[in-house]
Chains A and B, each alone.
Chain A
Amino acid sequence: MGIEMNNVDVKDGVDADTVEAVRALSSTYKYGWNTEIEMEYAPKGLSEDIVRLISSKNNEPEWMLDWRLSAYRRWLELKEPNWAMVDYPSIDFQDQYYYARPKSMVEKPKSLDDVDPKLLETYKKLGIPLKEQALLAGVEAPEGERKVAVDAVFDSVSVGTTFQAELKKAGVIFCSFSEAVKDYPELVKKYLGSVVPVSDNYYATLNSAVFSDGSFVYIPEGVRCPMELSTYFRINAENTGQFERTLIIADKGSYVSYLEGCTAPKRDVAQLHAAVVELVILDDAEIKYSTVQNWYPGDENGKGGIYNFVTKRADCRGNRSKVMWTQVETGSAVTWKYPSCILRGNESQGEFYSIAIANNMQQADTGTKMVHLGKNTKSRIVSKGISAGKAQNTYRGLVSMHPKAKDSRNFTQCDSLLIGDKCGAHTVPYIEVKNNSSRVEHEATTSKVDDDQLFYCRSRGMGEEDAVALVVNGFCKEVLQALPMEFAMEAQQLVAISLEGSVG
């Protein structure tokens, strides 16, 4: 992988540390090993029978099966989207497995102590703490400090969820999706598909039919979740798609920070990952959702890798509700992902911070949608895209101000950096303004950089250009620092990234 980049001429002005960081990031894929474990598969291919099988493996009630089947029938009528700036061989949906679980998980272990040691070893190797202790990447934190509850998803099933008892004391529900369907059917029925409808788009519909597991979170009214929650997704089996579903409900006045990580072994054949994430945020509640996406990106010739086709959406239903998406995208062969915010409540707020790094043959088409429906809603989009090797990196975003979204505000800034002359960086923003009391601004030009910050730098004797560079580039680090500690190790390499010399 490094080969491409070692010989590349980098234009003047591009920060050397950035080039080094991108190079280091892609020189080896650390998580490319696989776990030798006995697996149980559903038969290859997709049909109503497979949908029924997945439902029965999860011991689901009738209503859940009906929901899946209607999604499956709808999916048959839909066409695969082709508008994204990504190019990949057509997917044979009949030539893969839709369900794979370790044999040791057939009888769900009572507690983490009963989980197959091989599985526990896998997560240990990935640096994910499945023991209930404040353990951060090998550094033991002092008693009582940061704790992270983890739901570990291995191929199609959740291996276990930590700290459930402690969370329950606070009233927080954190469990695998399959457990939630059994234990909290009313909550699931009420919210499932209410943010991303069954037939929202091709991949979301597919997911609705065949999702196997995922995470479920409910934060009750007025509760600040006592620890960070996280889900770690691991694809291990070959020729298997992973379809998980995440549903998080933040009831009135609650707060939760949720993190998500994902990796997969190196395989020559591309694998599909089609997830759906739904966030429901009620009055005065806040969700902070962070992702470090590190799926296997394929080799330097574009062989293998994960096709990451994900639908993520937050519905800020309540007044003064708030959501913050932070994503660091370094993996996947093809990414198609637009974490969105529906700002329905008055004075609700959506934020999207993204760093997407594509190298070798990777293709990323990612961005966000900010749909302003309520009055006085605010949104902020900051997207940094870096392309190297022969990669293509596209920012695609929508900012929509509806007629009733009076006095709303959007600020969007997206920068792209190209390392080498064989890659591409693209920006496809859609801006729709339907009232005049709202202000929409796209892209940082010198004048759009925060005037106060600029003034401060200038008053300290800094030249205008240097000041702008400092303010704009400082942001990258800000995003990384906003990431929860658990990702610090992975994000550390990225800290050297600056967007100096960006093209547009």
Chain B
Amino acid sequence: MASSLRGDTADRLRLNENLLATSGQWFKNARLAAAERVESQGLPQRRDEYWGYTQPDAFLQKKIDFDVDLNSPLELFSKELSEVINYKNGILQEKKLPAIPGCSVESLSDAATLDNHWAGTVFGKLEAVGQIPVQRSLAALNTATASQGLLILVTGKVKKPIRINAVCEGTSDTIIHHIIKVERGANVTLIETGQYGARANVVLEVEVEGDGTFNHIRMQNGHEHNALTHIFGRIGTNSTFKSFTLTSGGRLTRNECILDLVGDSSRVSVAGACIGDEKFHHDDTVFVTHNAANCESRQVFKKVLRDGSVGVFQGKILVKAGAQKTDGYQISQSLLLDDNSQFLAKPELEIYADDVVCSHGSTSGAIDEEALFYLRSRGVPKAKAIDLLTLSFIAEAIQEVESPELADALLAHVTAVLEVR
């Protein structure tokens, strides 16, 4: 990465100076440290190995050059099913945050003025750990400049999922940073829905303490957007972390997920599916570090690509010395519906322990002609048959979702997306 910053980043960091004036001590410390990380690391460049398949330009340019319309996203998870918290153009819309049994929810902007806060042990901390060995300066930039986000402390078993519904329009350039801490034995499901604006930089830091459970479902809709998301997770002993992302719109999306398994016997799953056309460029970059024994990690990604769209998968399983009995699994598959689209993958393993099993697979190809022939011979029209096969391809990734209701809702959404194509 470049050692010097481009002018616009300095501008963005200057923004940070204004924020600092109103920040309490914990927040000030976190922001200053993050700003230093950005300064010392510089921003990603096209020639960086880590950005080999996705050009970072859209996230770096000073001004975003297009407007987005707000098209009402499909209401896929009913309001009754979850506690909804709304954001518009990057700003929290709720005057009062809901009281949810088993957890506390605060807004970052409120907590920022306090001198001490529980989030101080998480905010920017997991992101900082996630800078090694690969620098993710745009996440540090988020930490240094974000003023919006939720701080969720989960202390018990939260029954209803918490849904953050964030919509954007116009030339909005949003920076949001959420913190979730799941205390010992607690569990929660977080859903993210909505529509990104012209540009979005979203960071989620998730700490799961011993015996905790965190489930995450994310929907990425909207016609045009440039979205960069990071999830930084620290997973404790005997805990569960599951994240699933469905992307069915947007121009450029890069979802990074960096998990550090620090306690023995934890289970994590990072999965996703996407469907895209034309200028659609979708990048899943996952880095799972096994730092403890007897853990299981899964990465399952499916990409359906058409009309010149590009799918990228960069996944890595790092098994540190001593992380014995690790079970790592990684699969990335693309379905190329025509001859213009591209699938670029780098499924990586780095292993320093001998008693482990890590498998990684990656396949790419067109729709299975035999399966297509079978369906057609049963009287299914070609277009419908292709949709069915596409759906079954994606369904394998949706199987990673813990809750059957949510999985069904996702399948229904995929079906709807395929129908309107």
- Chain A interfacial positions (CB closer than 8 Å to B): 10-12, 83, 85, 403, 406, 416, 418-443, 445, 448, 503-504
**Neighbour of B353 across the interface among A418, A433, A438, CB < 8 A:** A418
Q: CB-nearest residue of chain B relative to A430? A: B346
- Expressed in whole angstroms, the minimum distance between the Cβ of A61 and any Cβ of chain B is 39
Q: What are 28 A-B pairs at a CB distance below 8 A?
A: A85-B350, A406-B339, A418-B351, A418-B354, A421-B352, A421-B354, A422-B321, A423-B352, A423-B354, A426-B349, A427-B347, A429-B347, A429-B348, A432-B345, A434-B342, A436-B337, A436-B366, A438-B364, A438-B365, A439-B363, A440-B362, A441-B363, A442-B360, A442-B363, A443-B362, A503-B356, A504-B356, A504-B357
Docked Cα-Cα span, A425 to B319, in Å, equals 10
Interface residue? B355 (CB, 8 A)? yes
- CB-CB under 8 A from A441, the residues of chain B are 361-363
Nearest-Cβ distance from residue B355 to partner chain A, whole angstroms: 4
Name the A residues within 8 Å of B65 (CB-CB). Answer: none
Q: Tell me which of B49, B339, B354, B359 contacts A445 (CB under 8 A).
A: B359
Check A431 against B361 for contact (C-beta < 8 Å).
no
Chain A residues closer than 8 Å to B364, beta-carbon distance: 431, 433, 438-440
B 354-385 binary contact with A (CB < 8 Å = 1; else 0)? 11111111111110000000000000000000
Docked complex Cα distance between A503 and B358 (Å): 6
Looking at the complex, which one of A11, A424, A504 makes contact with B360 (CB distance below 8 Å)?
A504
Closest CB of chain B to A175's CB: distance in Å?
42
Q: Which of B334, B337, B360 contacts A433 (CB 8 A)?
A: B334
Q: For the complex, is B338 an interface residue (Cβ under 8 Å from A)?
A: yes
**In this assembly, does B344 line the interface, its C-beta being within 8 Å of a C-beta of chain A?**
yes
B354: chain A residues within 8 A (beta carbon): 10-11, 418-421, 423, 503
**Chain B residues closer than 8 Å to A503, beta-carbon distance:** 319, 351, 353-354, 356-358
| A504 x B351 contact (CB < 8 A) | yes
Query: Please, which residues of chain A bring their CB within 8 A of the CB of B49?
Result: 83
Contact among B344, B350, B353 with A431 in the assembled complex (CB-CB below 8 Å): B344
Taking CB atoms, residues of chain A closer than 8 Å to B362 are: 429, 431, 440-443
Q: How distant is the Cα of A429 from the Cα of B49 in the complex, in angstroms?
A: 13
Q: Chain B residues with Cβ under 8 A from A448's Cβ?
A: 361
Which of chain A's residues have a CB closer than 8 A to the CB of B321?
Answer: 421-422
Chain B CB within 10 Å, residue with most, of A418, A433, A439 = A433
Chain B minimum-CB-distance residue to A426: B350
User: Which of B334, B343, B344, B351 touches A424 (beta carbons < 8 Å)?
Assistant: B351
**Complex interface: chain B residues within 8 A of A440 (CB):** 362-365
Q: Does the CB pair A403–B339 fall under 8 Å?
A: yes
Q: How far is the CB of B78 from chain A (nearest CB, A)?
A: 37
B56 at the interface (CB under 8 A from A): no
Question: Which chain B residue lies CB-closest to A412?
Answer: B362
Residues from chain B with a CB closer than 8 A to the CB of A11 are: 354-355
**Interfacial chain A residues near B112, Cβ < 8 Å:** none
A355 to chain B, nearest CB (A): 18
Are B346 and A431 interface neighbours, CB within 8 A? yes
| Shortest Cβ distance from B341 into A: residue | A436
Closest Cβ–Cβ distance, residue A274 to chain B (whole Å): 23
Complex Cα–Cα for A425 and B345 (A): 20
Q: Within 8 Å CB of A422, what residues of B?
A: 321
Chain A residues in 8 Å Cβ range of B334 = 433
Is the pair B341, A504 in contact by a Cβ cutoff of 8 Å? no
Bound CA–CA A85/B350 (angstroms): 10
How far apart are the CA atoms of A423 and B354 in the complex, in Å? 8
Complex Cα gap A421–B355 (Å): 8
In the bound assembly, the distance between CA atoms of A423 and B356 in angstroms comes to 13
User: Is A431 a contact of B345 with CB atoms below 8 Å?
Assistant: yes
Knowing that A10-B354, A436-B341, A439-B363 touch, tell me 14 more A-B residue pairs with CB under 8 angstroms. A85-B350, A418-B353, A419-B354, A424-B350, A426-B350, A426-B351, A427-B348, A429-B348, A430-B345, A431-B343, A433-B342, A434-B342, A436-B336, A441-B363
Q: Are A421 and B353 in contact (CB under 8 A)?
A: yes
**Is the CB of B328 closer than 8 A to any CB of chain A?**
yes
Distance of A219 from chain B, by nearest CB (Å): 36
Question: Whole-angstrom distance between the alpha carbons of A435 and B354 in the complex?
Answer: 38
Interface residues of B in 35-54 (CB under 8 A from A): 49
The 7 closest A-B pairs by CB, nearest first: A504-B358, A436-B336, A418-B354, A11-B355, A439-B365, A433-B364, A442-B362
Q: Which residues of A contact B353 (CB under 8 A)?
A: 418, 421, 503
| Complexed CA–CA distance, A349 and B188 (Å) | 53
B12 to chain A, nearest CB (A): 30
Residues of B within 8 Å of A428, CB to CB, are: 346, 348
Q: Shortest distance in angstroms between A491's beta carbon and chain B's nearest beta carbon?
A: 25
**How far is B361's CA from A448's CA once the two chains are assembled, in angstroms?**
10
**A435 / chain B contacts, CB cutoff of 8 Å:** 336, 339
**B349 and A504: CB pair below 8 A?**
yes
Closest to A400 in B: B344
User: Bound state CA distance, A418 and B326, in angstroms?
Assistant: 14
| Chain B residues near A424 (CB-CB < 8 A) | 350-352
| Complex-state Cα separation, A420 to B354, whole angstroms | 6
Given the interface pairs A418-B354, A504-B356, the reply to whether A443 lies near B361 with Cβ below 8 Å is yes
Docked-complex contact A442 and B339, CB < 8 angstroms: no
Q: Which residue of B lies closest to A10 (CB)?
A: B354
Contacts of A443 in B (CB 8 A): 347, 359-362
